[in-house]
Amino acid sequence: TICLCAGLCLVLALAAPAAGQPKNIIFCIGDGMGPAQVEAARLFAGESMSFEDFTFQGSVTTYAANSSVTDSAAAATALATGVKVNNGVISLAIPGDSSELPTLLEYYQDRDLATGLVTTTYMTHATPAGFGAHESSRNNNAQIANDYLTQTQPNVLFGGGANGMSVAAAQTAGYTVVTDAAGLAGIDTNTETYVSGQFGSYHLPYEYDGGGDVHLSDMTTTALDMLDNDADGFFMMVEGGRIDHAGHDNNLARNVYETLEFSATVTDILAWAAGRDDTLVVVTADHETGGLTILADNGPGALPTVSWSTGSHTGANVPVYAWGM
């Protein structure tokens, strides 16, 4: 049973590798992806998103400790630790004693699983930071990068570069660094154990605008090829981070294309997991962005008619889907 609230990740954390429990845990987050964002992409595509066919489905509340509307930092912390914190806080007990809250990534590291963080935002952005860092402010980019490289040290760090991350610092910490599609494709996934993908100097480009040379699906399949070498299994967080940014801009085309790439990435994950009985895949969102409402279905290949109520986050419940063990 999945507890559909802050306790969602606590149930996952109890699933330590053991007989009859998942060896591999893949946690996919569509940032800003509420029910209407999923519906808009489905109407445009003319078919369900890959995760809509999952057997187990529900909804999740998203409020922060100090606000009915969460930001990505507080939401990521709740998903990663099971604890509600104030907006802007990265996996510290605030309110509380400001102690570090153990994350799912750290939980599984302590049990000798490989770990990875993959995102279309820059690497030190709030959602990946919630799983791999501990900071009083989501804006402490340099400190978040330092937490990754010197404290939590995930095996895979794939996302946008700069913003606190640097090639030199990652190399000093023992990471092989790649900075473009050729470098990503050239990773020897059978031998590399620590790789930092620093692609560009900001977020990855929108899919609608061409998406650049590196896509969420590319990073995720490469990460899977690396992490599945660990005999004990792995934990990986995969974020479609730019769904949120398109929502802030009320840009439906970009929103839909980002959701489609997120769905394609889940399809690739399911292809990797096909036939396995040792893997759990969870797909959810940290919050809804834009107050999107679908007004009319204009058929496959045409964007639906919609309205937006805000350029900010909302307190709407978001969907959760689960597949596998």
Catalytically active residues are 72
Phi, psi (degrees; rounded to nearest 5) at 310: -165, 165
How far is residue 134 CA from its own chain's centroid?
A: 17
- Nearest residue to 315 (alpha-carbon basis) of 282, 290, 284: 290
Find the farthest-apart pair of alpha carbons in the chain and give their distance in angstroms, rounded: 54
Helix axis angle for 252-273 and 216-227, nearest 10°, is: 20
Q: Which residues make beta-bridge pairs with 289?
A: 313
Is cis: bond before 95, omega within 30 of 0? Answer: yes
Q: Which amino acid is at 164?
A: G
Instruction: Give the chain's radius of gyration (CA, Å).
Output: 18
How far is residue 22 CA from its own chain's centroid?
A: 19
Tokens representing 29 are 């987050």
CB 311 within 8 A of CB 250: yes
CB 123 within 8 A of CB 163: yes
The span from the CA of 293 to the CA of 304, in Å, is 10
Q: Which residues make beta-bridge pairs with 293?
A: 307
DSSP E strand boundaries for 200-248:
234-240
Could you tell me the CA-to-CA distances from 274 to 24, 157, 279, 323 in Å, in that order?
13, 25, 10, 11
Residue 238 CB coordination number (10 Å): 30
Eight-class DSSP state of 110: T
